[in-house]
A = this chain, B = another copy of it.
Amino acid sequence: MNLENISQAKVFGGWHKQYTHTSTALDCDMRFAIFLPPNATKETPVPVVYWLSGLTCTDENFMQKAGAFRKAAELGIAIVAPDTSPRGDKVPDDPNGAYDFGLGAGFYLNATQAPWSGHYQMYSYIVDELPNLIEAHFPVTQQRAISGHSMGGHGALTIGLKHPDSFCSISAFSPIVNPMNCPWGKKAFHHYLGDDRTTWAQYDSVELLKTQSSIPPILIDQGDSDSFLTEQLQPEKLMAAAEQTGHVIELRMQTGYDHSYFFIQSFIEEHLDFHATHLFPNTDDE
């Protein structure tokens, strides 16, 4: 199987479509979803925002609940939402079925430890395989931005920071910014990566910030009523690292908002506007 269309629905004049394909990087069949705005044609390809979801999610959570298509249709931006881990019967899962490790919890890294390393290569999938597939088969340009929520905010930040030439802007909702030092991250990194903290640092936004000479534009929204704020998310650590390294990151603490898609839908249009200013850099000059 390579690239099989399994659903499509018209939305805001564009199309939401789901596909399955066989992933080389992950060694399993994967599903992703794409939103194509009404103006996306072979003759007029559009840029892409890659959306990385959080723990337990699939391609469907963002596409069904974020309310992003009205603005994406208006701006002329495609959105691609991959799954959050390799999938299938042959893919190992947390032996206790925990929600925060294994299936649905790939943490956007390349695992080095057995039995995880055979399939859990989400970093390579998001950085290389998926964009190449999208750009080969859909009416899109090579202009890319990246965004995500929670574990997916961690994925967007780490991947965006390491690949400024591939992704022109980064945004995140409620990201895990310092997985090396929070319970979710420590559990996942221990199993996927072993116990060498220099390897961990390659997937930690706070640590990556210290190694970059320049960074893409970054917008982060964080609800101050998010129940994971203090123990897992800790955006203040990213801001401290930014200040220490002289990098500029916009963090907006949003009063009263929690960790849910109700929070995401409240601000996703502003994130798309933010990415549009970088995906369409010449708009103001025309």
Contacts and interface: CB of A to CB of B under 8 A. Distances in A.
Contacts of A258: 9-10
Interface stretch (A63-71, A76-84, A191-199, A205-213): A63-71
Interface string A175-207: 000000000000000000000000000000000
Contact of A9 (B11, B12, B64, B262): B262
Interface residues of A, number: 23
Nearest to A64: B65
Interface of A: 9-13, 16, 64-65, 67, 69-70, 223, 225, 256-258, 260-263, 265-266, 269
B65 A265 contact: no
Nearest to A11: B262
A262 B70 CA distance: 11
A266 B71 CA distance: 11
Given A65-B65, A67-B70, A262 B225 contact: no
Q: Give 6 closest A-B pairs by Cβ, nearest first.
A: A67-B67, A11-B262, A9-B262, A10-B256, A10-B257, A12-B266
Contact of A260 (B9, B13, B69): B9
16 contacts: A9-B257, A9-B258, A9-B260, A9-B262, A9-B263, A10-B257, A11-B263, A12-B265, A12-B266, A13-B266, A64-B64, A64-B65, A64-B261, A67-B69, A67-B70, A69-B262
By CB atoms of chain B within 10 A, which of A16, A67, A70, A261 has the most?
A67
Contacts of A223: 10
A262 B67 contact: no
Contacts of A65: 64-65
Contact of A10 (B10, B69, B225): B225
Contact of A266 (B11, B257, B265, B269): B11
